[in-house]
Structure 1
Amino acid sequence: MSITYQEYVKGAKELLSQIDSYQYKIAEMAMAVCQIRHGGRSEGYYTLTEFSNDIGMNRKTLSEWVHAYRDICLKIDLRTPTQEEWSKANKVSRLLKSELATEKSNNNTQKSKSNSRKDVSKERIQKIYNEITNDPFDTISKFERIYESTLFASKTINKIDLHKISNQKLRRTLKNIVSIKEQLEQFLSKEKVAQ
């Protein structure tokens, strides 16, 4: 008897849910064994980098899991988050990382402790978490992806050789950018009139 497509889908979904539940547990283990510091020497204590190397994992990914667990889940009392709660906590963590970076660049300030996810208030975290929970279209996360893509594009466009890209693809890209610009300008002009 062969396995059906639906059985494969069900099995894959079960594995994915297990992956999500293991992420916060791995972050919890890292927090238990590592002294998490930014910069400086690592003599005399076990670092997140060493832990990630020893378990065969990307350090940045592990760091993001630790941020999501320590700075989001624990602050809003999600000690053992469900798959859905963990997914939302990761979205909140990424959104805060982006917001703090934007605040920093708008203020032209040096990186400081007050510009860290761990220093964000429980109330602000809970507010963002609730906004994500109450948004069936995932608007906040989707716009965050748009924002990150445009930020990457603006920082990268002058560093690549556009001669290697077809004119057709360049025109489509420009058309997409103009469309986004027009939609944002239209929205912002309506908002200005409403105020």
Structure 2
Amino acid sequence: MFRNIYQGGFLSILYSCGSSPLKLWDVHVKNGYIRRITDEEIKSLALEIAGTNVATTYIYCPAYPKKALGIKLPFLIIIIKNMKKYFTFEITILDDKDMHRRFRVSNFQTTTRIRPFSTSMPIGLSGGWNQIQFNLSDFTRRAYSTNYIETTRIQIHANCRVRRVYFADRQGFNTCIN
């Protein structure tokens, strides 16, 4: 999708206040819902993903399974609200060994597990809104002793509110929650 497009500094793939925040995404909903709501804390729109099982309600990008994001920027930043329920997200990357690897981050995982093609790790979220900064290059190097090439896919599962999902070329590339 973005492989042949200039990727300078910052690339947003979801912004809850935009006219069609899920334009690049598709949804899977079973025993849950995905809707845009006005969050009372920030007094602005957010995308709420909720379900009885984190595995059955999620959004994913790109929408087409045969496509790849092709995003080379190494920092994934997600602005997300902790809903005090089980939550997870997954990122699939391509490394310099031409291997697809998946990082699964969740608040119900207690230990990090590294397998040949996937790594699962815990995350602790503060109450309310959080800015998650995920250094894909560093995690790829530490988990697999390979180099990060690009992000091919991302999934965000229930239960959370999402404000923005973007990639950046450096840590600390900040956008305002509002």
Q: TM bucket by the smaller chain?
A: under 0.3
Q: TM-score, normalised by structure 1?
A: 0.21
Which of the pair has more CA radius of gyration?
Answer: 1
**Bigger relative contact order, structure 1 or 2, given CA contacts below 8 A and separation 6+?**
2
- Structure (1 or 2) with the greater helix fraction: 1
- Structure (1 or 2) with the greater strand fraction: 2
Q: TM-score, normalised by structure 2?
A: 0.23
